[in-house]
Amino acid sequence: MLDGVGLPLLGHAAALTPFNRSTVFRMLPMPAYIKDVDLVFTHANPAYCELVGLDADDIVGSRAAQVGLLDATWHEETDRKILAEGGVATFPVNVRRLGAPALRGEIFKIRLDDETGRAVGILGVFIDRTAQFETEQQLVESQTIHRLVVESISDAVFLLDHEHRFVFVGPAVTGIFGLAPREAMAHGTLCALLGCDSCELHSLRRDRETRNIERSFTRADGEVRDVLMTVKPIEIGACRWLVTCHDVTDRNDSLKRLKASMVQTVQALCTTVEQRDPYVTGHQDRVADLAVAIGRVMGMDEDRLEGLRLGAIVHDIGKINVPIQILSKPGKLSGPEFEIIRSHAEVGYQILKDIDFPWPIARMVREHHEAIDGSGYPLGLTGDQLLLESRIIAVADVLEAVTSHRPYRPGLGLTKGLEILREMRGAKLDPEVVDVCVSLIERQQMSVPGWVGAIGSG
């Protein structure tokens, strides 16, 4: 039975006046309609009119196909099901009409009964979930892309919280660390995973800059690996750091082999120089030992000390271009002969400058006869223009040279050698380097096998 305004009586809604029932229906924010038992529209609220793009007068008295719904058959099949079974049913639905994009959502269909329980119509209410579904789809797509990207990366990926604890561990951790992601997560932090009690990862910089950290660690299977970690600050939920670990073991091994090969090649050339001048046999090695001892006291790290040692070993390689008659001449050199000797620094530089050393070896060779006051050769550079390594080699070279035998004089001994260093301190030689060298010798913290004499000897 329909009330005075054509709306059926709905349970508790029957207590409302016909005017109120009509107003509530019209004010529903969701699209709503009523059909009679013949599935003809009898009511359509403004939201439903907007949904299908028709006025209420065009909808009322029509069937689903006549209002332009492309799924009219489906709508009427579900309507008949509700009319037959009663109650309320919810259906996922795409509302599609000609010339408009499809809307995704749910439709609630309720059978309307009169006071005797006889079916008199159907109330349909559409809930638009298009935006929600699109968001969910985007999330699924984003998660899928994220998973594919993470799984395709050969580097191990970690997300850390503000306390540097794991939030996420990527699948590539297995290939590098030999652990499943869950096993790696159980370690809690990268420091624990790497087995380092104290390292830079314990206290990442407060300025939160991206940084690279290289570490060696021992896997559970005993294999030692090298990893390069790129640590990038982020702000994603609880995550504060993104860390990617790249296995650089093979790269480092190749570099070590390359370094060894370069060193062997250059040392072979230096051996050739020594064979041409028996008076300087062992000179380059003794200079290298003293230079490294000085550099270590001055705070150089092991990699830089390795470069310093190689630079000292090859510092006289340019003498391969000096005639042996001049190298072994017992008397005083003439002016032209001395200029040939002096050329060895530049010749050495030209021999080495195109070799891709990981250290500035060619510069050390070129600068080891420069003086901090600018009176040296071959370029006349001053102290602030010289590498620290060059200044160290210069001091070690002077001390070794004056204490060793030469064709034109016997070795002068350590006491005289230290005296000469002090005389040249601040003029020809770097004062700080001289002080460190003198201290090492006087405290007997440094002794070089093969040196002639001891402190106190002539």
- pLDDT at site 98: 62
Mean pLDDT of 301-312: 91
Share of the chain above pLDDT 70, in %: 82
Is the model more confident about 324 or about 336?
336
Is the model more confident about 448 or about 113?
113
- Reported pTM: 0.51
Residue 16 pLDDT more than 60?
Answer: no
pLDDT band of 280, cuts 50, 70, 90? low
Which of 351-355, 357-361, 390-394 is predicted most confidently? 390-394
Residue 5 pLDDT more than 50?
Answer: no
Residue 434 pLDDT more than 90?
Answer: yes
Mean pLDDT of 419-447: 88
SS3 sequence of 320-373: HHCCHHHHCCCCCCCHHHHHHHHCHHHHHHHHHCCCCCCCCHHHHHHHCCCCCE
Mean pLDDT of 317-327: 81
Mean pLDDT of 369-393: 93
- pLDDT at site 265: 74
- pLDDT at site 2: 43
Residue 4 pLDDT more than 60?
Answer: no
24-68: pLDDT as tens digits: 678 788 899 999 999 999 999 998 988 888 899 999 999 988 887
- Cβ neighbours around 205 below 10 Å, total: 11
Residue 342 pLDDT more than 80?
Answer: yes
Burial of 331 (0-12, 13-18, 19+ CB in 10 A): exposed
Share of the chain above pLDDT 90, in %: 25
- pLDDT at site 278: 61
Residue 250 pLDDT more than 80?
Answer: yes
Is the model more confident about 447 or about 183?
183
Which of 172-181, 405-414, 427-436, 440-449 is predicted most confidently? 427-436
Residue 236 pLDDT more than 70?
Answer: yes
φ, ψ for residue 88 (rounded to 5)? Answer: -125, 140
User: β-strands 211-218, 224-236: how paired?
Assistant: antiparallel
Mean pLDDT of 134-159: 73
- pLDDT at site 409: 65
- pLDDT at site 13: 41
| C-alpha span between 310 and 289 (Å, rounded) | 10
Residue 215 pLDDT more than 90?
Answer: no
Is the model more confident about 385 or about 129?
385
The vertex-155 CA angle with 151 and 158, nearest 5°, equals 80
Q: Which two tokens stand for residue 115?
A: 């006071």
Mean pLDDT of 141-151: 65
Mean pLDDT of 160-182: 87
- pLDDT at site 203: 64
Mean pLDDT of 164-180: 88
- pLDDT at site 453: 39
| C-alpha span between 129 and 95 (Å, rounded) | 11
- Cβ neighbours around 22 below 10 Å, total: 18
Mean pLDDT of 430-434: 94
- pLDDT at site 12: 39
- pLDDT at site 331: 73
pLDDT band of 279, cuts 50, 70, 90? low
Residue 221 pLDDT more than 90?
Answer: no
Dihedral sign for Cα atoms in the order 234, 240, 242, 243: positive
| 142: CB partners within 8 A, 6+ apart | none
Residue 220 pLDDT more than 60?
Answer: yes
Of 66-70, 87-91, 403-407, 415-419, the range with the lowest mean pLDDT is 403-407
Across the chain, what does the average pLDDT equal? 81
Residue 212 pLDDT more than 50?
Answer: yes
pLDDT band of 18, cuts 50, 70, 90? very low
